[in-house]
Amino acid sequence: MLLYAEIQKILKSKKFLTALVITIVLNLLFCLLLYNMTNQNIGSTKEYIADTEKRIKELQQKLSKEKDEKNKKLYQEQINDLSRIVQEEKLKIQYISNPKKEVEERAQYYRIMYENSKKTGDLRELEFNKVNYQILSKNISKGKYYIYGRKFDGWYYLLSQSYAIAFLMIIILALLIGSNIVSDEYKEGTVKILKTLPVKRSKIILNKYIATVLTVFALFIGMQLVFFTVLNLKAGTFKYFDVYYDWISKYKMIGFEIYPVLDDVKLLNLLECSFLQLLTEIILIIAVVGAVIFFSTIFENGMFASISFFAIIVAISIFRQRLLVIKKPLLKLLTLIFPWNLAEVYTNSLQQRIQWLWASFYVVIGLNLLLTVIFVLAAIKIFENREKLS
């Protein structure tokens, strides 16, 4: 009953309407950005080809007039290099209408690079080239020639949000909806009514927390699913759900470096990557809202709660890279709090960045859930103590 009342209060507030509008606008702007990126790639490639061909003609004219053999040879080498570049760029444009050719040639490239890596003994390159060859080979065997990011569709929209965009949107929504949810009770004097309710004070905070999580979840994940579905239906790309896109590998320690284990690779298709990203986003929503509720309980002014939380996020962002070079593993754990790059989390590639054996997907989930419990319990304790003081 109390949870229902909290959700109703959020839905009737002006901040919810603001959050809804912001969510829609941000998603539309993000779609516009992706759409322009896919179209500009083609346009810029054609312009580059035209400029390069113009340069080739100028060099050919100079070559025809030149009498010095050394200069002639130099001009011819430049012409050959530029002509090779033009052929490669024209091939890229051909790939748009012939994705099968692109996938097959990419697979051949990674096979050659894999063989070269075996000769050089570079374990990281060996892993990278081998897995990419496996991904493309499996796609070819299924007769599905899909290149992620080549066209503007639902998969591209959803997975592109792995890189900071999802993180920023979750923070914006959590602050809009949750920063005032406790502090307003003191500001408006309604906390006196809450005291008369025959419920535990812990339940009041828990219900506010759950109501905020559910609202942010519905706004953020719900809007993602709507855009994802519409864009895939429009582009006709739902059929590529089983195309292999990314990979997860376990790691082993060799000296002070961490290297992939070649025989323990898990290939991920588009559907699996999308599911893992959504799971990571849910964990992030749970953790971020917990922190926001904590600061909302401390301050009677929601603005102070927002500023305090934002300051924490900025501090983590500033020190994140610095903490990576620290040798103490426990301090490196701090870099996994509120991970802004979700792709690194759900593909389990944090080890290469942090160079620490236990920095995995499960650690990120566990750490952020632990942090959530601490924030929520602290909020409950602060709320109970403030009631006693008042």
- Tally Cβ neighbours within 10 Å of residue 369: 14
pLDDT of residue 370: 93
pLDDT of residue 358: 57
Q: Spell out a b/e string for 289-316, using b for 16 or more CB atoms within 10 Å of the CB, else e.
A: bbbbbbbbbbbbebeebbebbeeebeeb
Long-range contacts of 110-117 (CB under 8 A, 24+ apart): 110/136
Domain ranges of the chain: 2-38+158-389, 102-145
pLDDT along the chain (390 residues), means of 10: 82 90 95 84 76 88 84 86 82 76 89 90 83 93 89 94 91 89 65 60 85 95 96 94 88 64 83 94 95 86 82 81 65 78 82 60 88 93 69
Provide φ and ψ at 129, rounded to 5°. -70, -40
Q: Which residues pair with 248 in a beta bridge?
A: 266
Query: Which three-class secondary structure state does DSSP give residue 374?
Result: helix
For residues 315 and 218, give the distance between their C-alpha atoms in angstroms, rounded to a whole number. Answer: 29
pTM comes to 0.82
pLDDT of residue 192: 58
pLDDT of residue 389: 47
pLDDT of residue 125: 83
pLDDT tens digit sequence for 157-204: 999 999 889 999 999 999 999 888 776 666 655 555 555 555 677 788
Tell the residue number behind the tokens 């759950």, with chain if given: 210
